[in-house]
Amino acid sequence: MCAMLGGLSVMTGCGTLPKPLWRGGSVELTPRYTDAFDMRYGLFIHWVGCSPTQNSGLRHSNGASIGTRRIDEYADSIDVEKVADEMVALGFEYVLITDFHGFGTMLHPSVASDLWRGRGYASKRDLIGEMVAALRKRGIGFVLFTHPVAGHTYTKEDQEKLGWNDPTDNYKRWNDFINDIYAELAERYGNEMMGMGFDREFGLSGNEDFQGKLDLGRLRETILSKAPNLQLYALAGPNETCEFGHREVWRANWHSPWMTKDENDYDVETWPAYRRVVSVVLPNHWATITPPKEGMTHLNAEQLYRYTVLQAATATEGPGSAWAASPYADGSWEKGVREVFADVAAYMKDVRTSLTRVYPSTSYPTPEGAMLSKLPHGIVATKATDGSAEYIHVLNPPAGNRLSLPLPEDGKVFASATLLANGKAVGLVQKPDGLELILDDKDSWDKLNTVIALGVDSDTIPRRNLALHQKVTASDGMYIAKLPANSDVGRIRLTDGQKHVTGRPEKWATGNLGWSSARRETNGSQWVSVHLADEHTVGEVRLYPRSDAGHEGSGLPIDLRADVSLNGRTWQTVASRNGLPQSSETLVLTFDPARARYVRVVGTELRPAPQDGLFSMQFVELEVFSPR
């Protein structure tokens, strides 16, 4: 086993663990909306402050309990530099940390909390601010995880004061409180971190304890008015507030299909992969409620690593994995936890290029619901963000030294094949119906994982799509209504790089139908816009209609136009098409070069659906390119 030590650079018998890079360098840069789509490996830390009347249950590394009325003592005890060094030493690309969670306590000063609740619920030390700064300095992304409907954990006095049980004007007093808290959070930290996450189900499940408690549209507007680049994650996402989903797994039976597994079924070979980020609890609990010597881990390093690879190849809607385990205040861990993470870091060392700063493959995509035990061809794949390389992770090796694969789905042609760990050449035979990868007689498949790097022929590297993973807005609010978490449509799917309709491999899983406006009884204009983040010269928009049987071209407008803008308010029309037939063929709009930060497609005459006569506009994918 390769032991891993604290610090920015880790020397062991296995070599040096590469230092993470934040957007290409270990410097403090303003996070962008596109951050995290290429992050595959993260950690979920659950620290909870102590309220004046309720014990958080957390412990120090000596086993001592952290009692009530000690939020400042607990906040002051956390060694920020040591914890941040641990994140680097163990190879995490990003970290989620809780705040404003249990009992509504905060590990930072809060004027809003003091005004609404009185003192004692927020620490004097700005622990969250220090952690954001320490992680950014080390090139590690940060997401704040919060709980806007935790009122059920508040005292009866606070529930009365804050309007938790008062439905007047749709729980106006509770929403006023929540929006003041989140306006402060977003203004203070929102422009220095990648995203903000939300616990619970936002009142969308029908549970009476939470039903109707939040004005989701107002909350989103409040947050993004202070920090427009933030990614918003929800365990109940996507919804009217959050376009990013977050799957939380407390015990194995929290995997999908929900509660069908035994809670102790930790055979990762039968765990499903998800389009969204997934957080699985590795030790006894999310938080440090267990004394160190009584600690335990549910998975060994090989299991954690294999599932991380599977998730890295599947998650198209944000990061890959965020394993849930919390260090103690002094940066130490429960028994067994650090050893597992250290071994995973060692497994990653020689193939890290294929697991960090990469996207799921479009040559050999892995569908949601895939399992390690049932992988077609025994592989999953990731790709370089610039399209120059595909990384084939051979998780279930063939019997001989030849691996047969079908043709890549995105039409790429490969110019080279090498073992990523040592650079040795791998035989590459490309045929009309597929390709073969052949190991040298002196080589063998690694017992854990072999990664083959396929260099892409430069003539088949896709052009840079300026809209990829960029923020989408539309005329029809956030989503079509209160969509379930496994909806097949959503804004995030319009720019996720997936150009073709895919069905659901399982009932609980999501397919991909891209984005759709609301379906209405009357015709009318609809629009959808992509924020390119930076100013670019653009000259082409590509629209991908539905292509699934019986729905070919469904939602493609009869008349449409493309507009560009530098500020999102003043628009210039650059292309238009009228009288379009219903077709699943890609629609290419080319136009004279124009400078743009926003690109908008407007359907001015919509097409009724043959099934029910309702009108809508729908695309599976939208791409934007510079002129050829």
Q: In CATH, which superfamily holds the domain spanning 11-358? A: Glycosidases (3.20.20.80)
- Residue ranges of alpha helices (H) inside 258-399 are 301-312, 337-349
Mean pLDDT for 480-487 is 59
Which residue shows structure tokens 């969250």? 128
pLDDT score, position 5: 27
Which class does domain 361-460 fall in? mainly beta
Amino acid at 472: V
Do 510 and 584 form a contact (C-beta atoms < 8 A)? Answer: no
Element spanning 323, H or E: strand 321-324
Mean pLDDT for 497-501 is 92
Provide the 3-class DSSP secondary structure of residue 460.
Answer: helix
Where residue 207 falls among pLDDT bands split at 50, 70, 90?
confident
- Tens digits of per-residue pLDDT, 396-449? 999 999 999 999 999 999 999 999 999 999 999 999 999 999 999 999 999 888
pLDDT score, position 240: 74
Which residue shows structure tokens 């599947």? 314
- Tens digits of per-residue pLDDT, 37-94? 999 999 999 998 888 888 888 999 999 988 777 899 999 999 999 999 999 999 999 9
Check pLDDT > 90 for residue 387: yes
Tokens for 555, please give them.
Answer: 């939602």
Check pLDDT > 80 for residue 223: yes
pLDDT score, position 57: 87
Check pLDDT > 90 for residue 16: no
Where residue 212 falls among pLDDT bands split at 50, 70, 90?
confident
The sign of the torsion formed by the CA atoms of 230, 234, 238, 244 equals: positive
DSSP letters, 57-119, are --B-TTS-B--TT-HHHHHHH--HHHHHHHHHHTT-SEEEEE-S-GGG-BSS--HHHHHHH-T
Q: In CATH, which superfamily holds the domain spanning 471-625? A: Galactose-binding domain-like (2.60.120.260)
Backbone angles phi, psi at 533, to 5 degrees: 75, -60
Tokens for 348, please give them.
Answer: 């990653």
Where residue 507 falls among pLDDT bands split at 50, 70, 90?
confident
Radius of gyration of the chain (CA): 25
Check pLDDT > 80 for residue 298: yes
Amino acid at 450: T
Where residue 134 falls among pLDDT bands split at 50, 70, 90?
very high
Check pLDDT > 70 for residue 467: yes
Amino acid at 47: W
12 class by beta-carbon count within 10 Å (0-12 exposed, 13-18 middle, 19+ buried)? middle
Share of the chain above pLDDT 90, in %: 81
The mean of the pLDDT values for the chain is: 91
Mean pLDDT for 615-623 is 96
For residue 288, CA distances in Å to 107, 298, 432 come to 16, 15, 56
DSSP letters, 117-170, are H-TTSB-SS-HHHHHHHHHHHTT-EEEEEE-TT-GGGS-HHHHHHHTTT--TTT
- Tens digits of per-residue pLDDT, 334-347? 999 999 999 999 99
pLDDT score, position 504: 86
Mean pLDDT for 586-602 is 98
For residues 361-398, b (16+ Cβ closer than 10 Å) or e, as one string?
A: bbbbbbbbbbebeebebbbbbbbbbebebbbbbbbbbe
Check pLDDT > 60 for residue 6: no
Distance CA 514, CA 493 (A): 5
262 class by beta-carbon count within 10 Å (0-12 exposed, 13-18 middle, 19+ buried)? exposed
For residue 13, CA distances in Å to 3, 16, 256, 355, 617 come to 8, 9, 40, 22, 58
Q: What is the DSSP letter of 310?
A: H
Which residue shows structure tokens 């599977």? 310
Mean pLDDT for 158-177 is 97
pLDDT score, position 43: 98
Q: What is the DSSP letter of 22?
A: B
Where residue 527 falls among pLDDT bands split at 50, 70, 90?
very high
- Tens digits of per-residue pLDDT, 304-315? 999 999 999 999
Check pLDDT > 60 for residue 505: yes
Tokens for 435, please give them.
Answer: 């390709």
pLDDT score, position 2: 37
Check pLDDT > 90 for residue 30: no
Which residue shows structure tokens 């294999």? 306
For residues 16-36, b (16+ Cβ closer than 10 Å) or e, as one string?
A: ebbebebbeebeeeebbbbbb
Distance CA 118, CA 140 (A): 34
Q: What is the dihedral of CA 460, 466, 469, 470, to 10 degrees?
A: -170
Count CB neighbours of 15 within 10 A.
12
pLDDT score, position 211: 86
Check pLDDT > 50 for residue 610: yes
Q: Which residues contact 399 (CB under 8 A, 6 or more apart)?
A: none
Share of the chain above pLDDT 70, in %: 94
DSSP letters, 161-174, are HHTTT--TTTTHHH
Check pLDDT > 60 for residue 498: yes
pLDDT score, position 436: 97
pLDDT score, position 482: 54
Query: Which stretch of 24-28, 179-183, 327-331 has the lowest confidence by average pLDDT?
Result: 24-28
Distance CA 221, CA 201 (A): 19
- Tens digits of per-residue pLDDT, 539-549? 999 999 999 99
pTM, whole model, 2 decimals? 0.93
Q: Which residues contact 611 (CB under 8 A, 6 or more apart)?
A: none
Higher per-residue pLDDT: 78 or 2: 78
Domain positions in the chain are 11-358, 361-460, 471-625
Higher per-residue pLDDT: 236 or 574: 574
pLDDT score, position 485: 61
Amino acid at 259: M
pLDDT score, position 201: 77
Distance CA 556, CA 166 (A): 45
Distance CA 485, CA 492 (A): 13
E strands along 440-516, which residues?
Answer: 450-456, 471-474, 515-516
pLDDT score, position 306: 98
pLDDT score, position 28: 55
Mean pLDDT for 479-498 is 76
How many Å is the maximal CA-CA distance in the chain? 75
pLDDT score, position 315: 96
The sign of the torsion formed by the CA atoms of 369, 370, 371, 374 equals: positive
Nearest to 152 by CA among 219, 208, 79: 208
